[in-house]
Amino acid sequence: MMLTFDEAARALQATVRGARRAPSRVIVSTDTRTLQDGQTFLALRGERFDGHEYVEAAVRKGAAAVIVDRPAGIALDVAALIVPDTRAAYLKLAAAARAKFPGQVVAITGSTGKTTTKALLAQLLETEFGERIAVSPANENNEIGVSKLFLDAPLDAGVILVEMGARHFGDIETLVEVALPEVGILTNVGEAHLEIMGTRERLAQTKWALFSRGAQAVLNVRDRVALQEAAGLQRPPRWFGAGKTDLPKVHEHERGAFILDRQTLRLVNGDRQEEHAIDVRLPGQYNLENLAAAVAGALELGCSAHALVAAIGGLRLPPGRYETIVIEGQPRVIYDAYNASASGTIATLDAFAREPAARRIAILSSMAELGTSASAMHQAVGAHAALSGVDFLLVGGANANDLRAGAQSTGFPAERIADFYSNEEAAKWVREHARADDVVLLKGSRRYKLEEIVERLRA
């Protein structure tokens, strides 16, 4: 949704310089490497960079206007919007773009599964909206990514599908004030970012802010926070869940979408229930829950149940999620190191336990931002890995000793555990010890860049 220069100036309450040289439209760029002629350069400031240092380069490259909060010392011959803070300005521009959007907005957040749920939902929405879907790319789910999404989305899109991440207390509420979603999907409230949030209560409060502006809630029927807080919503939620056993019963006046198994979808609408035959080809039990969330969200947006059923068999996971990689002369690799939490790692290990292979080798790096729970959670993961049937376990990262201790607490032999202090070491171990009929799992926090192991095995 492009804004006119005057709309942008009003939204920002900016001081305007060089108005006579202003472009008619404001197409925002924050990166001089990709800036195109006629765009407006917004000088963001981060922990390791300051966009104001690149303003003159942006102008030389063809920027028609700039948005800055530190104009002193910058010689400009283009229009400028001067604001108190450029990061806040980006959000204000996004909010102005959102106000012009006539379609629907769906927001997804949660401790795990939000990117996968977003990808599955985007594919399901094609049954109703075709290509008229704007989706936040990869994990661009902070205020910068969300702002970019709304400013880049076409006006004729039927749906904007936005992922919202939270690393600090209150982050989701800030994004909701911009996005004003009609539908909000909360995958779960787990342990991610506990180190920064401080407590589970603050984490839950941050996630629950997804519904602070009245979004229709789509909730996980197994999530403790959702079950506790649902009664306080303005409208009854639509529930989702997976599995045949221990599904909490939804109330008579509520609705739900439940993947009972890989062949059965149950839809509930009050006292009415219907079951559909489906063909789920996604790996892992945990992805059944992500799929159920996507189906529930698609139904909330008016998609036909029969169209969704037909689409389920062709769904694909996004890159980095339980991705099978075949390398000539090497064992098959399951790459699932886009990110990691304790619950997510345990779910991945359960899926890995069902992989057909001569031997299963799990390479686990540490998880991040777990605070005082880090040691206990890593020990729990190590123990689960040992009990899940892996034959060898490689451990690395800051909590490698806890992973090892957890595995050994179950009686897992010490000689079948190896430490790795770099991805090169892990790749070397695989080359020297693994066989072509083995399967190797790579799972860990994004900060450890386990994709480097794949790169070295390919070299």
* Same domain (yes/no): 403, 334: yes
Q: How does residue 343 score in pLDDT terms, banded at 50, 70 and 90?
A: confident
How many domains does the chain contain in total?
A: 3
Final residue of a structural domain among 259, 278, 312: 312
* Same domain (yes/no): 106, 167: yes
Domain with 54, as residue range(s), is 3-89
* Same domain (yes/no): 333, 430: yes
294 found inside a domain:
yes
> Would you state the pLDDT for residue 138?
77
> Would you state the pLDDT for residue 200?
80
- Tokens 């399967």 label which residue? 439
> Would you state the pLDDT for residue 317?
93
317 found inside a domain:
no
Phi, psi angle pair for 105, to nearest 5°? -120, 130
> Would you state the pLDDT for residue 253?
61
Mean confidence (pLDDT) of the chain = 93
> Would you state the pLDDT for residue 298?
98
> Would you state the pLDDT for residue 198?
63
pLDDT tens, position by position, 415-436: 999 999 999 999 999 999 999 9
Amino acid at 190: G
Q: What is the CA radius of gyration of the chain?
A: 24
* Same domain (yes/no): 278, 334: no
94 found inside a domain:
no
Tell me if 361 sits within 8 A of 441, measured CB to CB: yes
pLDDT tens, position by position, 269-316: 988 899 999 999 999 888 999 999 999 999 999 999 999 999 999 999
Comparison of pLDDT for 371 and 14, the residue scoring more: 14
Comparison of pLDDT for 275 and 250, the residue scoring more: 275
95 found inside a domain:
no
Round to whole Å and give the CA distance between 215 and 341: 27
Final residue of a structural domain among 312, 345, 363: 312
* Same domain (yes/no): 243, 122: yes
H helical segments located in 254-398: 285-300, 305-312, 342-352, 374-387
Q: Which whole number is the average pLDDT over 349-368?
A: 95
96 found inside a domain:
no
pLDDT tens, position by position, 97-128: 999 999 999 999 998 899 999 999 999 999 99
Round to whole Å and give the CA distance between 181 and 427: 44
Question: Is the pLDDT at 403 greater than 90, yes or no?
Answer: yes
* Same domain (yes/no): 298, 393: no
> Would you state the pLDDT for residue 202?
87
243 found inside a domain:
yes
Q: Which whole number is the average pLDDT over 319-327?
A: 92
% of the chain exceeding 70 in pLDDT: 95
> Would you state the pLDDT for residue 74?
67
232 found inside a domain:
yes
Phi, psi angle pair for 417, to nearest 5°? -120, 130
% of the chain exceeding 90 in pLDDT: 81
* Same domain (yes/no): 76, 197: no
Round to whole Å and give the CA distance between 266 and 257: 6
> Would you state the pLDDT for residue 193?
55
Question: Is the pLDDT at 252 greater than 70, yes or no?
Answer: no
Round to whole Å and give the CA distance between 307 and 160: 20
* Same domain (yes/no): 81, 132: no
* Same domain (yes/no): 210, 117: yes
Name the strand (E) or helix (H) holding 82. strand 79-82
> Would you state the pLDDT for residue 313?
96
Final residue of a structural domain among 260, 291, 312: 312
Round to whole Å and give the CA distance between 177 and 211: 10
Looking at 143-147, 251-255, 420-424, which range is the least confident one?
251-255
Q: What is the CATH number of the domain that holds 394?
A: 3.90.190.20
Q: What is the CATH number of the domain that holds 125?
A: 3.40.1190.10
Tell me if 138 sits within 8 A of 338, measured CB to CB: no
In whole angstroms, how far apart are CA 108 and each of 125, 218, 239? 14, 9, 14
Question: Is the pLDDT at 50 greater than 60, yes or no?
Answer: yes
pLDDT tens, position by position, 447-458: 999 999 999 999
Q: Which whole number is the average pLDDT over 191-206?
A: 74
- b/e 185-217 (16+ beta carbons within 10 angstroms → b): bbbbbbbbbbeebeeeebbbbbbbbbbeeebbb
257: closest CA among 271, 248, 245, 269?
269
Q: Which whole number is the average pLDDT over 53-62?
A: 93
* Same domain (yes/no): 141, 219: yes
Q: Which whole number is the average pLDDT over 180-186?
A: 98
318 found inside a domain:
no
Question: Is the pLDDT at 14 greater than 90, yes or no?
Answer: yes
* Same domain (yes/no): 124, 31: no
Q: How does residue 139 score in pLDDT terms, banded at 50, 70 and 90?
A: confident
Q: What is the CATH number of the domain that holds 70?
A: 3.40.1390.10
Question: Is the pLDDT at 159 greater than 70, yes or no?
Answer: yes
Round to whole Å and give the CA distance between 232 and 349: 36
> Would you state the pLDDT for residue 254?
82
pLDDT tens, position by position, 372-399: 889 999 999 999 999 999 999 999 999 9
Question: Is the pLDDT at 197 greater than 70, yes or no?
Answer: no
* Same domain (yes/no): 308, 334: no
pTM: 0.88
Question: Is the pLDDT at 442 greater than 70, yes or no?
Answer: yes
